[in-house]
Amino acid sequence: MNALLWKDVNRNVEEIKGKAPCFYGVDFIISQEIKTAYITLDKKNFEYEVEIDSVKDYQKTGDVVLKKKTGIKTVIHITSIKNIGKVPLSDFNLLERADEVPSFAYGERFVVDYKEKEEFSISPEQNEIVNDAKTRGYDIPYVLADKLIKYKMDLSEDNYEKLLKRVDFELKKREIDPYEAVGIIAAQSIGEPGTQMTMRTFHFAGVVEMNVTLGLPRLIEIVDARRIPSTPSMTVYLTESYRTNEDKVKELIKNLENTTIIDVSDITTDVGDMSLTIKLDKFKSKDRLVNISDIVAALEKIKGIIFNQIDDENILVKLQQESFKKLYQVQEQVKTTPIKGIPKIKRAIARFDGKEEAWIIYTQGSNLKDVLNIEGVDSTRTYTNDIIEVENVLGIEAARNAIYREAESTLSEQGLDVDKRHLMLVADMMTFSGAVRAVGRQGISGRKSSVLARAAFEITSKHLLKAGLLGEIDPLAGVAENIIVGQPITLGTGAIDLVYKGKNK
């Protein structure tokens, strides 16, 4: 059921809290059956949840708390009010999409169902396999014990012993030695194949306007944590009722593509008459599902102009204050004025996937937050290659997975096989602080705890001078700083201190 959302002031909220349950008079008409409402003080974050018992027309009667002194239209009976922290507007599915709440609106709050993870259960058969392996001198993990059950039943005792020995050997071969330099190995394992990568872009789905940066430039973008990738794109999966319906998919594409006035019309500037003429292109407008009334609605948002619809194809635009400079400014503003669609989505195409047996939409440009709110979009699978946008919308864990996925797909597309653990280490290092950080000077390398390691990276005098002014201490725990001072590095055998105790005479 929809909830009522409205903007209020702190004074009124405090009065409701003091008198609840109470009657509250508002300056708008409530046309739906409402049981719950949310109050915002800044139009973007909702801080109070209100339970409503009844709604009636306003009449000057007894004790009613008024939102304003004049213009009261409806009285609602508030039974309780509670503080819910700060719930953003994005947590509500509004009937009309908006960046902030007007005086009031209707919307349904997204409810997230949190479930506890089921406990990892170990069967008696798995226990028996693990314990049996221990008696034979092999340390087998429980995740492999399940696969070994059938072999224990089918193989002879000697063959089963050989199998356990091989499994134990393969496990130990893959273990990391204590104090191993995993970072250096990961850097070598990614950097060496990286030298074989191409410097090209891939034309997407056979459409010239749509391309995706791949190869070395894309890998550099990922580890640099670029705010805006050079070719942002989205893969939009659809819900069950949309994915096989071609007509619905076509309509959804037109609603996704950000259509401006220049995309569907020609604009002529008349300097002598100080006016602009917008001529609707029939073919382009039909393709984008736009008509003349949509352009008129878009022009109403531009200030300082007067416009008049001449016929079904032409609109005359004039300035309120005429000047050549203003005329050309308005011309550029009219060109880029959006008519419909999602901001930043320049192009969208659909392809039928044989494996999925469904239509999938691919976009040039990315706007994950707004796309997820569109009816027909599967929000659990829709994906963008913009890692920073993933972090802002879905959180740091999703950004970590996006870094791994993008790096892995970039390398594998070039036919390069890199162990996933190296890529996971890079993703962990870039995100463990709670925000996506670049590998370079503005991120991980520039924020090391060691003064000498930072100085060895770049701008030596700056780091040493700053450390001296702040009185920093270098614990000499890493590799670079120990090499600088001529000590053994704290890796491998160098990480262990040996002390000799002589025999007491």
Residue 82 pairs in a beta bridge with 49
Q: What is the pLDDT of residue 405?
A: 93
Q: Which helix (H) or strand (E) holds 331?
A: helix 324-335
| Local confidence band at 404 (pLDDT 50, 70, 90 cut-offs) | very high
| More confident call, 2 vs 366 | 366
What's the mean pLDDT in 150-166? Answer: 88
Percent of the chain at pLDDT exceeding 90: 8
Q: What is the pLDDT of residue 398?
A: 92
Q: Cα-flanking dihedrals φ and ψ of residue 195, to 5°?
A: -70, -15
Summarised one tens digit per residue, pLDDT across range 369-396 is 888 888 888 888 899 999 999 998 888 9
What's the mean pLDDT in 286-291? Answer: 76
Distances (CA, A) of 30 to 98, 102, 106, 278, 389: 19, 14, 9, 40, 36
Q: How far apart are the first and last CA of the chain?
A: 88
| 1 pLDDT more than 70 | no
| Local confidence band at 422 (pLDDT 50, 70, 90 cut-offs) | very high
| 199 pLDDT more than 70 | no
Summarised one tens digit per residue, pLDDT across range 201-253 is 555 545 555 677 778 888 888 888 888 888 888 999 988 888 888 888 888 88
d(CA 54, CA 45) in angstroms, rounded, equals 25
What's the mean pLDDT in 4-32? Answer: 87
Summarised one tens digit per residue, pLDDT across range 441-490 is 777 766 777 888 888 877 788 888 888 988 888 888 888 888 888 888 88
Burial call 145-179: b when 16+ CB within 10 Å, e when fewer? beebeeebeeeeeeebeeebeebbeeeeeeeeeee
DSSP 204: G
Grouping H, G, I as helix, E, B as strand and the rest as coil, residue 440 is coil
Summarised one tens digit per residue, pLDDT across range 40-89 is 888 778 889 999 988 888 877 668 888 888 888 888 989 999 888 888 87
Q: What is the pLDDT of residue 95?
A: 60
Mean pLDDT (the chain, rounded) = 83
| Local confidence band at 406 (pLDDT 50, 70, 90 cut-offs) | very high
Asked: is 448-494 a CATH 1.20.1250.20 domain? The reply is: no
| More confident call, 339 vs 310 | 339
Query: Which residues are CB-neighbours of 88 under 8 A, at least 6 positions away?
Result: 44, 45, 46
| Local confidence band at 166 (pLDDT 50, 70, 90 cut-offs) | very high
Summarised one tens digit per residue, pLDDT across range 92-150 is 777 665 566 777 888 887 766 666 666 667 788 888 888 888 898 888 888 888 888 88
- Evaluate whether 240 touches 359 at the Cβ level (below 8 Å): no
Q: What is the pLDDT of residue 28?
A: 84
Torsion angle of alpha carbons 190, 193, 195, 201, nearest 10°?
A: -90
d(CA 7, CA 244) in angstroms, rounded, equals 41
DSSP 449: S
Q: What is the pLDDT of residue 425?
A: 93
Q: What is the CATH number of domain 259-340?
A: 3.90.76.10
The amino acid sitting at 144 is L
Query: Which residues are CB-neighbours of 137 under 8 A, at least 6 positions away?
Result: none
Within 10 Å of residue 479's Cβ, how many Cβ atoms?
17
